[in-house]
Chain A
């Protein structure tokens, strides 16, 4: 029998980024004994990397903003593939969630009348992002970390124990979810302490997945080592489904030089505050890349674009602030056409647009980052930037209102959940997403637990199996052949995904990637790690690789199946938006054919039509760029196929 440290909780939250902390706060405030389990130290989560801000239609800077405008912007940004109910909840609840942070002690930048200031961002009609300079994510994490401490202080005052009701298990990795074989419901979670390598078991009827993204499967990424798709893979292995996995956001502006920092993010706030993209000829090329679906919504001359920063009523915004997928593709095209910067990116110029002091005040960490890492003074010279793997729109399929997956007791929020952002996420919608749905997941879990009459039991056999799989890299099966180094295997996986399932895709390349994944998975069985279980990074990587392989297969298979281009999925061989695909979701699940790295199966599924009152928030002209003729007939302004511009649908190139 496996030696394992056992704990019993009502709710176990996996991940201590924004979504996880907000879920934990909510579950604890509803009386649940709650554990937060995270791979890093408390307060180090990837959310700290979020720079620009948190989108919420508070209307502090432009009173015309409201939830309907935010709803429309988000649906447009996601090319109408979004789960509309999630988008509705998000747009309606984001302001409350931001205001709530002030009651926890957050200090956002202010407007002259003392309210929370809001900044412009790509795809948002009005200044909408609550921010703190360019370190908004850090403010969110610290604020919620400190809120958790304050709840622990309350518990200490009552019980004499800080951790009586809410405990953080830091530097602890979950390797498997455990379920009740009869009902499929969550029974617990199994993992190990990174420090000692000792096993730990949580017996709990509810798990909130808040593990973030999958960027570490790609070579050039803004994501940290933690982003290995743990939540995605754990959920699939426990029987849950993923949607939208083919949509991966390549942030248009990552650093490209020096090589060691390639991929590190340059906030969109640079463009929001006036920075412009230029090619090697000094041309502001984004004016040439406004796609038909956005024609008329963006400035057509540099003069109009520049006037927009001060007068938004009478001018249209600069195309530098198109949604991220459009900007990333445009940069890619400029570089391919030979108009790139010396190190294979394009130029992002703020130096000639704002006074040096203003740049340092508004973008202090960007100034710092370029000065320290690239020896570039952004107040004097332009930055070199290019696309970097940043965010996965796909994730665990959940019920919008409760955040519960198809597995009873398994909830998900933040980046590891899917649906909210459709095919492309707008900047600033991530921090608001994790607040809104972090809270809903915590609430959903609390409600679920309080209705249970009995708790599913963890089976010893499952614990033993999880322990055996975790230890496999120390003791690979005999005669399995040449031992594999986990670091080398990881690099090969990243190269494969980057080259073959990256920003621009085509069928042959994706098929090639799938073949390579089969080979890499075979090598996975031969991974051997040196040393012992105490704080052994080679072993930790070997365990995380299991998840990266599953997630990579899901991305590649879904990308192959979707024969159109939309948002974060661009097919060279199918460059158009296809309205038939708009209402189709690709659902990934585990084939359960292998215990170490199960295969992934992908099934199409019809998306639920938008509720009528939300549907009517859009003009028929706009909808006709995305919807099929049959769907458009439900709109009150529909005048038949021959009359409107509806007949363009399907032929429209985007």
Chain B
């Protein structure tokens, strides 16, 4: 190899490395991306762990421990979101004494990203809910409650989108019918809309207008009302939607052994999960993303 060729070769190599380097930087796309979704539901003001002599949940739960767990997982993967599926309030004297202030402040300290509204979150009336809004740094999401004619107007969004590591995540909230569950004088002029219709409309918006890569529903409908098919529930919601990939449920305090895999309207798999109640468990769903070419024809592999 004479000197000239050597130089030319090195220059070319340098150029190659440079470009390739820049390329790799600008597209961290080559590797798999991971989005971690953490969730709770029906915590019902359970801030302290259950006492050691409790008949069922001895030494389980507790906000300070949940904080440790969430912190560990966020360290492991910074691209983590934390959600709650409603019924944050009511269940221990902390709520009776402080009206939910402590619950909202602690959820903010744990960096919750969003919560939907459960029926018990109206227990101090819609004014009682509004009073706690200043203590929340997380979003309150509900697509099928219309708060227009209430004091909560402007404090609740139908959905919110997050952008993590180039992945756009759309999250919307769905609430349960209030009539019969909550006294009208508590929820006042809050209007409940059909959850299925609203879910379809909202997920379409998140897919087509917001171009989300991942769509999640926070639902307080309840897991499954087998004996009452007219009552909307999460497993039916899963079969009626087509863009939603995960339904994080609440209300029925259902302890699922593992996330439930259902088929949606177009025959694709959708996860329905609920982790019991009282902050005894933290749900965790990891979503992995690859380039379309790598995924092509392989479909989504689900490990639960």
Task: Please determine whether chains A and B interact with each other in the same assembly.
Answer: no
List residues of B whose CB falls within 8 A of some A CB: none
